[in-house]
């Protein structure tokens, strides 16, 4: 494996011109580039660090070593969820050691100049690079969103390479950073799906689940999806596709920035077209539930990726003047929740008995009731990771289904839309 070409500034970073932490980070970035076969590095304009979520003491020691050595992020950098809700400390059940270490890990990245956003959806709290911008983002849904919906360019950066990219302002130039890797290699024709279904939010996690299972990490272009598909719908699509597969980029013709036409999305190449069928969608829908509706529901959770202000607004309208009978959790960013409080939306959720979780989510840290049982969600990502991470079986439904189930205390699911 050949060494990547380094500019004079990059060689200076490597030899300690900007301190011990930057030099260590640069060694890691350079070694990663060598392993990936990248011929050079690329300057980035932003980063999103996934590595502040506590999985063990090694992650804390890594972050603190960089911080103690004077590490500072070189570009605007946001932080993914941690293992604690710092605004509501009583939400998380963790022993003293885990609590202390999780807090230290989150604080170490803040000491390095990263913004304490603690959200898996930094694009909802003002961190929005533009089309063509080179960035280094971690967290699978954020990667899919920044590539697909915003049109910026990142590869799939995980712990702790994302932090090293942030400290150096560099990333290996390979994969989705390049023009060639961003062209669609397959087309999915959704024209035959009823418009009424494509207009519903509940459709997009199912579509994403199918996409990840069917295409893995391939770049796909959709045609026949609505021109007015919302950011929340595209967010849900990408999050589910990155959970069941490794989708880092998808195109929607006439909607996403690199797909004004099908020809531009594919680079003019002749690619295979797959027609989306009712059977394919039904298979993906069925996979999102591991529990039978007859089993009942013990808790409801939404907000993976974190709820947007618009999603909070919709939920507030559904629960205003009502009370939930089941434990109901909404996961969102602290900045989004502050907006909801200013907009007088928070009151409706709190009056309904809903528990708001910030800085983290119920699938990555122990928040759900210990008794276990069945969790209902409208999130493809929660549905995918929930059973293994929480011990709960899952039941998938729309946001409306989740609310009606929680209010009535019995399973309510509208499945008629899937019969076509």
14 is written with which tokens?
A: 């490597």
Angle between helices 231-244 and 380-390 (to 10 degrees): 40
| Dihedral (CA of 286, 211, 379, 157) sign | positive
Distance (Å, whole) CA 143 – CA 411: 34
Segment 33-41 mean pLDDT: 97
Instruction: Say what the pLDDT of residue 238 is.
Output: 98
CA angle 202, 205, 209 (to 5 degrees): 140
Segment 236-240 mean pLDDT: 98
319 is written with which tokens?
A: 């629960």
Per the prediction, the chain carries an average pLDDT of 97
pLDDT in tens, 265-282: 999 999 999 999 999 999
| Greatest Cα-to-Cα distance within the chain, rounded to the nearest angstrom | 66
Is pLDDT at 1 greater than 80 in this prediction? no
Instruction: Say what the pLDDT of residue 415 is.
Output: 87
Instruction: Say what the pLDDT of residue 40 is.
Output: 98
Distance (Å, whole) CA 125 – CA 139: 15
144 is written with which tokens?
A: 């899919």
Is pLDDT at 129 greater than 80 in this prediction? yes
Instruction: Say what the pLDDT of residue 293 is.
Output: 85
Do the Cβ atoms of 193 and 276 come closer than 8 Å? Answer: yes
Q: Minimal CA–CA distance to 153: which of 143, 161, 162?
A: 143
Is pLDDT at 339 greater than 80 in this prediction? yes
Name residue, tokens 């059977």. Answer: 279
Instruction: Say what the pLDDT of residue 420 is.
Output: 86
Segment 350-362 mean pLDDT: 98
* Distant-in-sequence, close-in-space partners of 378: CB < 8 Å, separation ≥ 6: 201, 202, 205, 302, 396, 397, 398, 399, 401, 402
**Count of other CB atoms within 10 angstroms of residue 348:** 20
Of the chain, the percentage scoring pLDDT greater than 90 comes to: 97
pLDDT in tens, 172-218: 999 999 999 999 999 999 999 999 999 999 999 999 999 999 999 99
pLDDT in tens, 4-19: 999 999 999 999 999 9
**Count of other CB atoms within 10 angstroms of residue 157:** 27
Instruction: Say what the pLDDT of residue 31 is.
Output: 97
Segment 357-366 mean pLDDT: 97
Do the Cβ atoms of 302 and 377 come closer than 8 Å? Answer: yes
């Amino acid at each position: 494996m050949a060494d990547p070409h380094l500019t004079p500034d990059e060689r200076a970073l490597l030899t300690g011109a900007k301190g011990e932490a930057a030099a260590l980070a640069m060694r890691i970035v350079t070694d990663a580039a060598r392993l990936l076969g990248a011929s050079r590095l690329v300057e980035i304009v932003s980063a999103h660090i996934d590595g502040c979520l506590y999985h063990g003491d090694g992650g804390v020691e890594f972050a603190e070593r960089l911080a103690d050595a004077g590490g500072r992020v070189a570009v605007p950098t946001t932080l993914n969820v941690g293992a604690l809700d710092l605004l509501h400390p009583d939400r998380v059940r963790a022993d003293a050691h885990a609590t202390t270490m999780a807090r230290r890990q989150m604080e170490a990245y803040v000491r390095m100049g990263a913004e304490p956003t603690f959200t898996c959806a930094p694009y909802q709290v003002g961190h929005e690079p533009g089309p063509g911008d080179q960035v280094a983002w971690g967290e699978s849904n954020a990667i899919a969103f920044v590539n697909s919906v915003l049109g910026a360019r990142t590869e799939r950066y995980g712990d702790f390479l994302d932090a090293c990219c942030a400290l150096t302002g560099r990333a290996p130039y390979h994969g989705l950073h390049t023009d060639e890797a961003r062209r669609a290699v397959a087309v999915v024709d959704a024209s035959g799906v009823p418009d009424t279904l494509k207009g519903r939010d509940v459709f997009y996690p199912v579509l994403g689940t199918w996409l990840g299972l069917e295409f893995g990490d391939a770049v796909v272009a959709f045609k026949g999806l609505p021109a007015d598909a919302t950011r929340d719908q595209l967010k849900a699509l990408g999050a589910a596709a990155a959970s069941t597969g490794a989708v880092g980029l998808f195109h929607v013709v006439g909607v996403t920035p690199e797909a004004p036409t099908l020809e531009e999305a594919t680079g003019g190449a002749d690619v295979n077209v797959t027609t989306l069928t009712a059977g394919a969608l039904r298979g993906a829908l069925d996979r999102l539930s591991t529990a039978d509706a007859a089993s009942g529901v013990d808790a409801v959770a939404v907000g993976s990726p974190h709820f947007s202000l618009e999603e909070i607004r919709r939920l507030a309208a559904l629960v205003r003047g009502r009370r939930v009978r089941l434990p109901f959790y909404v996961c969102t960013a602290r900045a989004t929740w502050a907006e909801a409080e200013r907009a007088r939306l928070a009151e409706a959720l709190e009056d309904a008995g809903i528990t708001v979780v910030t800085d983290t989510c119920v699938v990555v840290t122990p928040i759900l009731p210990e008794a276990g049982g069945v969790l209902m969600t409208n999130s493809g990502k929660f549905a995918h990771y929930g059973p293994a991470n929480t011990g709960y079986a899952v039941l998938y439904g729309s946001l409306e289904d989740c609310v009606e189930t929680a209010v009535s205390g019995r399973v309510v699911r509208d499945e008629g839309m899937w019969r076509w």
